[in-house]
């Protein structure tokens, strides 16, 4: 007889993983289902990595409410789980008189959203905070709470904690069919696997509309909105001190320039509606727009080397808010349309969803023990293993640098391969350790990393590469 899970969560992005973590504190059996070979391979890995306060959210929306709540939850969780984060603050710059005139209404909106430390600053203050900005700023809005965060560690931390607290993680399980059975269970199937559960939570990101249709609903359609980004060399990091935000328009938050927690500078994203939910390609036009905008805001940036370019797809819908709905009769909760703030809002969403589950009839009884998690630190602001004499004395592998650009030691690579959610692919290692993410993009260490992964997992290097070809990154 097949085991019946109390709850199945579809999608192991930031949102699904946060929900799995939240539910793992209760006496339930849950399963986190992911189509890809690892957690965090969807939109969660390709965004601008800002921990938003929600100061500019539309007041009264669920998004505004959950962002606000999530911010409080993350304040505790980030240090607890060791997630790389830098509380830089955001500086929204008005470049025209017209933009300058919108600042008071943005300030009012921030205050309505409960973000009370936001304030309007003069052009002089703008240049005091950011001397390298191009000339011509009219003034700005300072948002002290906007911070930068590691979007790779976040879903891994959530999912790892969930697994440590007995959630089952099923990778390589693309859900294709969902059947509500007469016995009060739900059958969830992929082409090669199936499982049974009582409750289903749909956190399938770009595909959340398709899962929703499996339940017979047509409340929303996801249109992938592509955002392209350029990552600049670490040498550019000292050019700015804050997240430089543009004045948002009704359709997008606009192109920003932000440091990353790894010590690079990010320029982007663009916003373009597409049809293909897999089209994460960068485009010549997108890059051109970014270079123009980047040059207008921070001229010195453009003369630095580019380390990487990428594109992410926002799960945009025809609605202006998250599509979170409980269908109690079907024991189903839809968590879709989490467009451009999901990394920040995930913990708030998870808490809200557990409330919806209670409303739908599930009893949530806390476990005696809820284990915490501490993730390996891959940020730039704190101490990395190669800087830690005690750690190297204990284990010399932490002093053996394999990826020179990002200074990733062999010890960190081995730890990632043998972690609770093991890195099984090069891309998995990339997100867990930062290997291959630096300026040489593998010129020096790519082959060595394939070898280490092969050795440690008992596969041949050819098998590792074949898997990489199959999964992409």
Partner 1 sequence: MDIKHTDVLIVGAGPTGLSAALTLKKLGVAKVTVVDRELEAGGMPRLCHHIGFGIRDWHRIYSGPQYARQYVKKAIANGVDIHTSTTITGWTGENTLSFTSPNGLGEIEAKAILLATGCRERPRAARMIPGKRVQGVFTTGSLQRFVDEHHLPVGTRAVIVGAEIVSLSAFLTLKQAGIKIAAMTTELPRHQIYFPFSPIKWILVDLLERATVQTLTRVSRILGQKRVEAVELTHLDTGKTEITACDAVIFTGDWIPEHEVARAGGLAINKGTRGPQVDAQYRTSKRGVFAAGNLLRGVETADISALEGRQAAHCIHKFLQTQTWYGHKLPIEVEQPITWVYPNTISDAEGQPIKYLSFRVSEFRKNVSVKVYQSNKLLHTQTFRQLSPLQTVRLNGDWLTALNLEAEPIKLVITS
Q: Which of residues 243-272 bind ligand FAD (CB under 6 A)?
A: 269
In 328-449, beta strands by DSSP E: 332-336, 401-403, 408-409
In the complex with partner 1, the residue whose CB is nearer, 96 or 400, is 400
In the complex with partner 1, the residue whose CB is nearer, 144 or 399, is 399
12 binds ligand FAD (CB under 6 A): yes
Contact characters 285-324, ligand FAD, x per CB under 6 A: ---------------------------xxx----------
Stretch that binds partner 1, among 79-87, 210-218, 284-292, 363-371 (CB under 8 A): 284-292
342 binds, among partner 1, ligand FAD, none (CB under 5 to 8 A by kind): ligand FAD
Nearest to 24 by CA among 281, 317, 370: 370
Cβ atoms 403, 426 nearer than 8 A: no
Could you say which DSSP state residue 254 is in?
A: -
136 binds, among ligand FAD, partner 1, none (CB under 5 to 8 A by kind): none
Dmax over CA atoms of the chain, in Å, equals 71
Neighbouring residues of 32: CB distance < 8 A, sequence distance ≥ 6? 9, 12, 16, 17, 20, 39, 159, 162, 167, 168, 169, 170
458 binds partner 1 (CB under 8 A): no
Could you say which DSSP state residue 420 is in?
A: S
56 binds ligand FAD (CB under 6 A): no
Annotated catalytic residue 473: no
227 binds ligand FAD (CB under 6 A): yes
- The nearest distance, CB 241 to ligand FAD, in angstroms, is 18
Q: Which of 310, 322, 332, 352 binds partner 1 (CB under 8 A)?
A: 310
- Note the residue count of the chain: 473
Could you say which DSSP state residue 26 is in?
A: B
Q: How far apart are CA 81 and CA 74, in angstroms?
A: 10
In the complex with ligand FAD, the residue whose CB is nearer, 210 or 456, is 210
Neighbouring residues of 240: CB distance < 8 A, sequence distance ≥ 6? 130, 132, 133, 257, 258, 259, 265, 298
Cβ atoms 311, 228 nearer than 8 A: yes
Q: How far apart are CA 361 and CA 330, in angstroms?
A: 11
Q: Which of residues 363-402 bind partner 1 (CB under 8 A)?
A: 386-387, 389, 392-393, 396-397, 399-401
49 binds ligand FAD (CB under 6 A): yes
Could you say which DSSP state residue 200 is in?
A: E
Q: How far apart are CA 344 and CA 34, in angstroms?
A: 21
48 binds ligand FAD (CB under 6 A): yes
Q: Which of 23, 28, 31, 50 binds ligand FAD (CB under 6 A)?
A: 50
The number of CA neighbours under 13 Å toward the Cβ of 367 is: 17
302 binds partner 1 (CB under 8 A): no
* SS3 label, residue 445: coil
Stretch that binds partner 1, among 1-9, 82-90, 256-264, 460-468 (CB under 8 A): 460-468
Catalytic residues: 52
Instruction: Please give the residue ranges that form the binding site for ligand FAD (CB under 6 A).
Output: 10-16, 33-36, 41-44, 47-50, 52, 173-175, 203-207, 227, 269, 312-314, 338-344
For partner 1, the binding residues (CB under 8 A) are 230-231, 235, 278, 280-284, 286-287, 305-310, 386-387, 389, 392-393, 396-397, 399-401, 404, 407, 439-444, 446-448, 450-451, 461-462, 465, 468-473
């Amino acid at each position: 007889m097949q085991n019946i899970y109390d709850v199945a969560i579809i999608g192991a992005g930031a949102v699904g993983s946060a929900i799995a973590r939240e539910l793992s504190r209760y006496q339930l059996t849950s399963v986190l289902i992911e189509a890809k070979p690892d957690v965090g391979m969807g939109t969660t890995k390709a965004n601008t990595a800002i921990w938003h306060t929600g100061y500019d959210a539309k007041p009264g929306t669920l998004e505004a409410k959950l962002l606000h709540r999530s911010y409080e939850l993350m304040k505790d969780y980030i240090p607890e789980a060791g997630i790389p984060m830098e509380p830089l603050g955001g500086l929204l710059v008005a470049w025209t008189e017209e933009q300058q005139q919108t600042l008071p209404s943005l300030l009012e909106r921030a205050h309505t959203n409960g973000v009370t430390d936001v304030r309007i600053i003069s052009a002089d203050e703008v240049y005091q905070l950011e001397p390298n900005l191009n000339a011509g700023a009219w003034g700005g809005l300072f948002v002290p709470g906007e911070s930068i965060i590691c979007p790779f560690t976040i879903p891994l931390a959530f999912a790892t904690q969930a697994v440590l607290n007995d959630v089952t993680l099923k990778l390589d399980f693309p859900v294709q069919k969902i059947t509500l059975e007469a016995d009060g269970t739900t059958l969830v199937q992929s082409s090669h696997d199936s499982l049974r559960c009582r409750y289903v939570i749909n956190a399938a990101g770009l595909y959340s509309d398709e899962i929703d249709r499996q339940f017979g609903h047509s409340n929303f359609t996801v249109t992938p909105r592509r955002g392209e980004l350029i990552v600049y060399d670490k040498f550019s990091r000292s050019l700015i001190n804050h997240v430089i935000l543009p004045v948002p328009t009704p359709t997008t938050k606009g192109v920003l320039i932000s440091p990353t927690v790894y010590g690079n500078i990010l320029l982007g994203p663009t916003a373009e509606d597409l049809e293909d939910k897999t089209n994460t390609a960068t485009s010549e036009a997108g890059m051109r727009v970014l270079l123009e905008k980047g040059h207008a805001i921070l001229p010195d940036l453009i003369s630095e080397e580019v380390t990487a370019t990428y594109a992410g797809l926002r799960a945009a819908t025809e609605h202006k808010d998250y599509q979170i709905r409980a269908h109690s009769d079907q024991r189903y909760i839809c968590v879709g349309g989490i467009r451009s703030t999901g990394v920040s809002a995930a913990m708030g969403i998870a808490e809200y969803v557990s409330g919806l589950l209670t409303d739908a009839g599930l009893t949530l009884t806390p476990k005696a023990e809820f284990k915490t998690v501490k993730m390996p630190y891959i940020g730039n602001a704190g101490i990395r293993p190669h800087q830690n004499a005690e750690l190297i004395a204990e284990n010399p592998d932490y002093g053996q640098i394999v990826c020179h650009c990002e200074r990733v030691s062999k010890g960190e690579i081995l730890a990632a391969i043998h972690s609770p959610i093991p890195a099984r692919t090069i891309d998995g290692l990339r997100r867990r350790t930062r290997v291959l993410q630096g300026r040489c993009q593998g010129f020096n260490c790519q082959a060595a990393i394939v070898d280490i992964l092969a050795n440690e997992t008992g596969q041949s290097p050819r098998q590792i590469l074949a898997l990489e070809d199959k999964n992409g990154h």
